[in-house]
Amino acid sequence: MANRVQVEIFITPHCNKCGRSVALLESLHKESPEIFSWRVVDVLAELDYAVETGVRATPGIAINGRLIFTAQPAKERLREAIQQAGNN
């Protein structure tokens, strides 16, 4: 049985690219909500955590606490990364 995956998306307010990445992640979650949970991390509000995770630019996407994407990935790449994390 696959493990539930935790996805975090690191954003800054009023960032257009960040907004598109959040919409992408939301779309994937609607397709398979049982596979992963997710949350938005405002790097201005959680700067120490963002730095600790390795975020240097937004949007950034961490899967199970590990920074995987430092820019918006293609939907299929993100889907594959989440599925792979669930199988580990």
Of the candidates 23, 2, 1, 8, the residue with the CA atom closest to the CA atom of residue 64 = 8
47 in any annotated domain: yes
17 in any annotated domain: yes
Q: Which residue segment(s) compose the domain that 69 sits in?
A: 5-82
Tens digits of residue pLDDT in 24-73: 999 999 998 999 999 999 999 999 999 999 999 999 999 999 999 999 99
Confidence of residue 1 (pLDDT cuts 50, 70, 90): very low
Number of domains the chain contains: 1
The first and second tokens of residue 76, run together, are 């299929």
Q: Which residues of 63-76 are buried (b: 16+ CB within 10 A; e: fewer)?
A: bbeebbbeebbeee
88 in any annotated domain: no
> Which DSSP category does 57 fall into?
S
Is this structure's pTM higher than 0.85? Answer: yes
Tens digits of residue pLDDT in 10-21: 999 999 999 999
Question: Which domain CATH number covers 54?
Answer: 3.40.30.10
87 in any annotated domain: no
